[in-house]
Amino acid sequence: MAKIRIGLIKEGKTPPDKRVALTPDRSIELMDKYPNVQIFVQASNVRAIKDEEYTQLGIPVVEDLSDCDILMGVKEVNVEDLIPHKKYLFFSHTYKKQPYNRKLLKAILDKKIQLIDYELLKDKNKKRIIGFGRYAGIVGCYNGFRTYGLKHNLYNLKPANECFDRKEMESELSKVKLPSDFKLVLTGYGRVGHGAREILDLLPIKEVEPEVYLSQQFNFPVYTQLEVEDYNKRKDNTAFDKSDFYENPSDFESNFFRFAQVSNMYVSCHFWGNNSPYILTKENLQDPTNKITVVADVSCDIDEPIACTIRPSTIASPIYGYNPTTGIEDDFQKEGIIAVMAIDNLPCELPKDASCDFSKNLIEFVFPLLLSGNDPDKVIERASETNLNGELMPNFKYLESYLNELDPVK
Q: How many CB atoms lie within 10 A of CB 44?
A: 19
Query: Does the residue 149 lie in any domain?
Result: yes
pLDDT in tens, 322-352: 999 999 999 999 999 999 999 999 999 999 9
- Cβ contacts of 247 within 8 Å, gap of 6 or more: none
pLDDT in tens, 295-326: 999 999 888 899 999 999 999 999 999 999 99
Q: What is the mean pLDDT of residues 188-210?
A: 97
Query: Does the residue 50 lie in any domain?
Result: yes
**Final residue of a structural domain among 326, 344, 362:** 344
CATH number of the domain bearing residue 80: 3.40.50.720
Residue 410 binned pLDDT confidence (cut-offs 50, 70, 90)? very low
Q: What pLDDT score was predicted for residue 1?
A: 65
Pair (265, 324) in one structural domain? yes
The structural domain count of the chain equals 2
Residue 374 pLDDT more than 60? yes
Residue 200 pLDDT more than 80? yes
Query: Does the residue 409 lie in any domain?
Result: no
**Final residue of a structural domain among 315, 344, 373:** 344
- Cβ 76 vs Cβ 113: under 8 Å: no
Pair (87, 163) in one structural domain? no
Beta bridge partners of 40: 7
Query: Does the residue 264 lie in any domain?
Result: yes
b/e burial code for range 153-172 (CB count within 10 A of at least 16 → b):
eebebebbbebeebeebeeb
**Final residue of a structural domain among 344, 372, 391:** 344
Share of the chain above pLDDT 90, in %: 92
Q: What pLDDT score was predicted for residue 407?
A: 55
Query: Does the residue 400 lie in any domain?
Result: yes
Please, what is the average pLDDT of the chain? 95
Residue 203 binned pLDDT confidence (cut-offs 50, 70, 90)? very high
Pair (333, 302) in one structural domain? yes
Query: Does the residue 410 lie in any domain?
Result: no
- Cβ 112 vs Cβ 85: under 8 Å: yes
Share of the chain above pLDDT 70, in %: 99
pLDDT in tens, 73-113: 999 999 999 999 999 999 999 998 998 899 999 999 999 99
Query: Does the residue 231 lie in any domain?
Result: yes
Query: Does the residue 54 lie in any domain?
Result: yes
Residue 130 pLDDT more than 80? yes
Q: What pLDDT score was predicted for residue 409?
A: 44
Pair (180, 219) in one structural domain? yes
Pair (137, 54) in one structural domain? no
- Cβ 179 vs Cβ 145: under 8 Å: no
Residue 408 pLDDT more than 80? no
Pair (167, 72) in one structural domain? no
Pair (105, 162) in one structural domain? no
Residue 16 binned pLDDT confidence (cut-offs 50, 70, 90)? confident
**133 phi, psi to nearest 5 deg:** -60, -40
Q: What pLDDT score was predicted for residue 349?
A: 97
Residue 37 pLDDT more than 70? yes
Pair (318, 286) in one structural domain? yes
Q: What pLDDT score was predicted for residue 406?
A: 55
Chain-centroid distance, C-alpha 320: 20
Lowest mean pLDDT across 98-102, 273-277, 348-352, 393-397: 273-277
Residue 393 binned pLDDT confidence (cut-offs 50, 70, 90)? very high
Pair (12, 104) in one structural domain? yes
Residue 203, CA distances (Å) to 1, 145, 188 in order: 52, 10, 19
Pair (147, 227) in one structural domain? yes
Pair (85, 145) in one structural domain? no
Containing structural domain, residue 186 = 133-344
Pair (137, 124) in one structural domain? no
